Structure 1
Amino acid sequence: MLSMYGRFQATLNSKPLPGFRTTKVQALLIYLAAEPTTPHRRETLMSLLWPRMPERSARQNLRQSLYNLRRSIPDLPLQLPGSETPGLIEMETAVPLLLTNRQTIQLNPQANVQSDVMQFEQLTNAVQTHDHLDIFHCHDCRQKLEKAIALYKGNFLADIYLDDSNTFEEWAEIKRQSYRRRVLDALETLTTIAIRQASYVEARAYAEKQLEIDDLRESAYRQLMQVLALNGQRSAALTLYETCRRLLFEELAMAPSTRTTERYQQIQGGDLTVATQST
């Protein structure tokens, strides 16, 4: 199991794997696991991990990293094809971690390699493609979103940094921002569901989690203001608006949007209801 949200961890049979020989071995495994669907050209991986090295040296480093990776992670149980249940495996059949040839390298799709990133994507993609009339009344989608946000322990690769590879860092930052947007969208949906069900403790927790991740997210401020007001905490809701206004000015030299100001005015005038738009 590879955990890439927050602090990176790698476990095998529920036990931590010994430390990888170098950070580049670790980074190679991370990249292959986070981009598992296609083979990667060796030249691409060389440019990603050793961009400043001569080609011959980078190629040798890649070979050595592959050797160390194979030594660190032995053959794995076979992932049964066609299963809708991630991790359904055949214990008696072992397959190699990697598929390699002279041109390309890929994580073996038949190997039972699980990661929090892969599980998060499977859950959120299932919600996006599910045929429901209204996501806010879909019990299955709500459960999937709850499982997805539970996987998100922090920013993607929060403790991994390659100071000699801007290319790797740029790739990681793109992934980091993408996962932040997706988890924030999931939390926003769950907040709306909880508000509509008058589950204000739950709604508050979801809205506050959004602000932990992004303290300038106006839609989260609007949701939390609504939750507080509907739960009888009108003064706290009005104070929250002032916090939002101050942070936006200090960080972005901006004023709150019209929608946020209107939400403040609704609360101030006592006009807010459960039917008020939740974002």
Structure 2
Amino acid sequence: MGERPVTGFRSSKAQALLYYLAASGRPQPRATLAGLFWAGVGDYYARRNLNRTLSNLLQLVGDHLIKAREILTFDRSQPYWLDSEILDQAVNTAATSGDTGRLQEALNLYRGEFLAGFYLHDAPEFEQWVLAERTRLNERYLHGLHTLAHLLAGQGDLPGASSAVRRVLQVEPWREEAHRQLTQRRPGPVRALPSGPRHRTRCRT
């Protein structure tokens, strides 16, 4: 991975499997993965399909997968780049670190809905996870923007703080408190709702 985008997937489910392993951030039982992507075909065929799909991934990103008998894990000790993780980390640490530069860079990665345009018609549980992740990342983005507004206002950068609030309004133009904040000296908190721009996740190895 590193700076190289991952290509060469033999199926959409191979691509989805990598997305899920990387973005979920935890070890995944094979039985869970088989049910997530091949529900309704029976355990034998679900396992067989998983093994075939995993074979493709091992060819592409084998160094980034820890393969145990019943568990698969994305290996974060290897070089990789995942925009949703960068956003999470920057938002989590911004309030205490005061690092507005890092926070702004992370927020600029948010360019659309998580996995926009990517859909598996026969994997409803995977699609439910995608929808939940879209909502979560939208909330993180909005939280990051109002954190940025507070930090910049505290540093005396009122134009920068106002710009952050305007970005909230680009997501949720009906937010009356955000409109009010544009007339205040120090923008106040912006309460995030589960909706927003579309965010396509990117993973590089």
Same fold? TM cut 0.5? yes
Aligned to 1:55: 43
Question: How many residue pairs get matched?
Answer: 189
Shift of 1:195: 4.5
Answering whether residue 26 of structure 2 is matched by residue 116 of structure 1, we say: no
SS in 2 for 1:105: strand
Counterparts in 2 of 1:215 and 1:158: CA distance versus 1, 3 Å: farther
The answer as to whether partners of 1:196 and 1:274 remain within 8 angstroms in 2 is: no
Q: Report the Cα distance in structure 1 between the residues aligned to 2:47 and 2:27, rounded to whole angstroms.
A: 17
Larger radius of gyration: 1
Pairing partner for 1:170 from 110, 123, 128: 128
SS in 1 for 2:72: strand
Counterparts in 2 of 1:112 and 1:41: CA distance versus 1, 3 Å: same
Pairing partner for 2:150 from 183, 187, 192: 192
Cα RMSD of the aligned pairs, angstroms, is: 2.3
The answer as to whether partners of 1:48 and 1:167 remain within 8 angstroms in 2 is: yes
Mapping of 1:59-98 within 5 angstroms? Answer: 59-74=47-62, 96-98=63-65
Aligned to 1:18: 7
Counterparts in 2 of 1:221 and 1:123: CA distance versus 1, 3 Å: same
Shift of 1:24: 0.2
Q: Which runs of 5+ in 1 are unaligned?
A: 1-11, 75-95, 131-137, 227-272
Q: TM-score, normalised by structure 2?
A: 0.80
The answer as to whether partners of 1:124 and 1:144 remain within 8 angstroms in 2 is: no
Q: Report the Cα distance in structure 2 between the residues aligned to 1:19 and 1:110, rounded to whole angstroms.
A: 23
Shift of 1:196: 5.2
Q: Which amino acid aligns with 2:32?
A: T
Pairing partner for 1:221 from 179, 185, 197: 179
CA offsets, 1:64-108, max 9 Å, x none?
Answer: 11100111225xxxxxxxxxxxxxxxxxxxxx2211122111112
CA offsets, 1:224-267, max 9 Å, x none?
Answer: 3x1xxxxxxxxxxxxxxxxxxxxxxxxxxxxxxxxxxxxxxxxx
CA offsets, 1:190-226, max 9 Å, x none?
Answer: 22344455645423432221122233334323223x1
Q: Which runs of 5+ in 2 are unaligned?
A: 190-205
Q: TM-score, normalised by structure 1?
A: 0.61
SS in 1 for 2:77: coil
Q: Which has the higher contact order (CA 8 A, sep 6+)?
A: 2
SS in 2 for 1:99: strand
SS in 1 for 2:81: coil
Answering whether residue 88 of structure 2 is matched by residue 100 of structure 1, we say: no
The answer as to whether partners of 2:91 and 2:143 remain within 8 angstroms in 1 is: no
Shift of 1:25: 0.3
The answer as to whether partners of 1:195 and 1:278 remain within 8 angstroms in 2 is: no
The answer as to whether partners of 1:222 and 1:278 remain within 8 angstroms in 2 is: no
Pairing partner for 2:32 from 44, 51, 55: 44
Counterparts in 2 of 1:13 and 1:43: CA distance versus 1, 3 Å: closer
